[in-house]
Amino acid sequence: MKLTILGGGGFRVPLVYGALLGDHAEGRVSRVTLYDTDHDRLAAVARVLDEQARGVPDAPVVLATTDLDEALKGADFVFSAIRVGGLAGRAADERVALDAGVLGQETVGAGGIAYGLRTVPVAIDLARRIARLAPDAWVINFTNPAGMVTEAMSRHLGNRVVGICDTPVGLGRRIARVLGADPDRAWIDYAGLNHLGWVQGLYVNGRDELPRLLADDTLLGSFEEGKLFGTDLIRSLGAVPNEYLHYYYFNREAVRAYQQAELTRGAFLREQQQGFYARMREPGTPALATWDRTRAEREATYMSENREVAGAGDRAASDLESGGYEQVALALMRAVARNERTSLILNVRNGNTLSVLDADAVVEVPCLVDANGAHPVAVSPLPYHAAGLVTSVKAVERAVLDAAESGSRSAAVRAFALHPLVDSVHVARELVDAYTLVHPQLAYLERP
């Protein structure tokens, strides 16, 4: 099997390669092609992969290229993990929003809309190109905002594109562990959009164990989401929210904390990664050790402002391990390529899974995956509070897709104005003006 990674010079590529190194079965990925627009970044990541492969006799061969067509031809799987505008773009997304008094985060609220407006046109070009050059390839989208980007690509690739996020998996695992259940045998009743979902049940041997968690204050307060949201809120919702809902349920506090932080997340990562890629240009640098140290620092500081607002303390050691994204991606590839049937929470077209959304809407739900792809399975219906947020945010995503396809500025304003975390149409207009000033990639928004 041949895998192509778009954004192959990206920092998290070694996680994927590490997962591939553990797969020795027949039909495994034997060749990985890294595609990136930046030659230096490709060289840095290739050095890390080279060290990872030492002593692994059947390690996948690694090729690197800046030629997209060459990268796509012959691919069985394509991972899309691009970052339009780089981390400087992410930092600008956050700063503009925070200066306007609203949330700046790469996937939620104004920052996520700005990032979507920059990314969707590029993702659509890629999808068209893949449909032409590798029509039989399966596409796994890691690019944030993952739900919106996957939906944009699905308009050209149909069900051959599947979006991935590790937060539902991480949440399900944490709950299972706290309940003393085997995470791999638990069925998680999870539904929503990417970074906007709730666990409404966790079944072990056909029995819902979530009520036992909700009834026990100690258990409920013992893991990340319990600490972030507080046990009272979770119990009163009767469901455990994805950690990204902290930006909604504690929006004022999160905005204030991010405004007061010395660096936004994007600015912190921009500096951290500049340092990493600079060090990788020096010949003597131990590649894998340097990468791993940088990764550990990134993990330890993930959502640190939210945790501070909630008084949640440091992340649990088990949450600092990798194993999220790359294991989901590997399981998905194995299921599709070798018909190793499994169930995974993925971003796929809704069909008739969530009745409040149309069939083409990309949702994040449990799926059965086999050689024919990912098929969403029945979940509990969303309660009104969740359905309200999900339909509002889907309307925002559709406005972004509309703006990206038509170049309409008023569609872009509509996207910001309809978002539940942007509280004024006036602010929405200001945001479009400010973002178009700082992001050259938004020059396409030239129609009224």
What minimum distance in Å lies between the beta carbon of 19 and ligand G6P?
15
Beta carbon of residue 165, minimum distance to ligand G6P (angstroms, whole number)? 5
Q: Which of 166, 189, 364, 430 binds ligand G6P (CB under 6 A)?
A: 166
Nearest Cα to Cα of residue 265 among 308, 292, 225, 298:
298
d(CA 27, CA 320): 31
**Residue 327 site contact among ligand G6P, Mn ion, none (CB < 5 to 8 Å, cut-off depends on kind):** none
List the one residue from 130, 165, 328, 335 that touches Mn ion (CB under 5 A): 165
Secondary element (H or E) of residue 279: helix 265-281
User: Taking CB under 6 A as the criterion, which residues in 301-330 touch ligand G6P?
Assistant: 302
Q: Which is nearer to ligand G6P, 60 or 163 (CB)?
A: 163
Using rule CB under 6 A, residue 119 touches ligand G6P: no
Contact yes or no for 58/76 (Cβ under 8 A): no
Which stretch of DSSP H or E encloses residue 3? strand 2-6
Distance in Å, CB of 409 to ligand G6P, minimum: 28
Region binding Mn ion by CB under 5 A among candidate stretches 12-20, 47-55, 157-165, 302-310: 157-165
Residue 260 binds what, of ligand G6P, Mn ion, none (CB under 5 to 8 Å, by partner type)?
A: none
Per the CB < 8 A criterion, the answer to whether 35 and 10 are in contact is no
Q: Report, in angstroms and rounded to the nearest whole number, the Rg of the chain calculated over CA atoms.
A: 21
Shortest distance, position 165 Cβ to Mn ion, whole Å? 3
Q: Is there a contact between 107 and 194 (Cβ–Cβ < 8 Å)?
A: yes
Binding residues with Mn ion: total (CB under 5 A): 1
Concatenating the DSSP letter of every residue in 315-335 gives PPHHHHS--SHHHHHHHHHHH
Find which of ligand G6P, Mn ion, none residue 298 binds, CB within 5 to 8 Å per kind: ligand G6P
* Alpha carbon 221 to its chain's center: 26
**Does the footprint of ligand G6P cover residue 83 (CB under 6 A)?**
no
Nearer to ligand G6P, 254 or 428 (CB): 254
Binds ligand G6P by CB under 6 A, chosen from 2, 95, 298, 439: 298
In angstroms, the CA 299 to CA 120 distance is 27
Q: Binds 265, which of Mn ion, ligand G6P, none (CB < 5 to 8 A, cut-off by type)?
A: ligand G6P
Q: Is 206 left (phi over 0), alpha (psi -120 to 50) or beta?
A: left
Question: How many residues does the structure list for the chain?
Answer: 448
| Sole window of 165-173, 331-339, 366-374, 399-407 interacting with Mn ion (rule: CB under 5 A) | 165-173
**Contacts to Mn ion from residues 400-419, by CB under 5 A:** none
Instruction: Report the DSSP pairing between strands 2-6 and 31-35.
Output: parallel
Omega before residue 145 within 30° of 0, cis: yes
> Does 167 contact ligand G6P by CB under 6 A?
yes
CB nearer ligand G6P, residue 44 or residue 432:
44
Tokens of 333: 């590839």
> Residue 66 region, left (φ>0) first, then alpha (ψ -120 to 50), else beta?
alpha
Beta carbons of 56 and 96 less than 8 angstroms apart: no
173 binds, among Mn ion, ligand G6P, none (CB under 5 to 8 A by kind): none
| Residue, CB closest to ligand G6P | 167
Give 76 or 106: the residue with its C-beta nearer to ligand G6P. 106
- The site partner of 302 among Mn ion, ligand G6P, none (C-beta below 5 to 8 Å per kind) is ligand G6P
Find the part of the chain contacting ligand G6P (CB under 6 A) among 162-170, 207-215, 341-349, 427-435.
162-170
Q: Which stretch binds ligand G6P (CB under 6 A): 18-26, 43-51, 159-167, 385-393?
A: 159-167
Strand locations in 36-82, DSSP E?
61-65, 77-80
Gap between the Cα atoms of 249 and 20, Å rounded: 38
**Amino acid at site 257:** A
**Does 310 help bind Mn ion (rule: CB under 5 A)?**
no
Joined together, the tokens standing for residue 211 give 């009520």
19 binds Mn ion per the rule CB under 5 A:
no
Contact residues toward Mn ion (CB under 5 A) are 165
Contact residues toward ligand G6P (CB under 6 A) are 144, 165-167, 265, 269, 298, 302
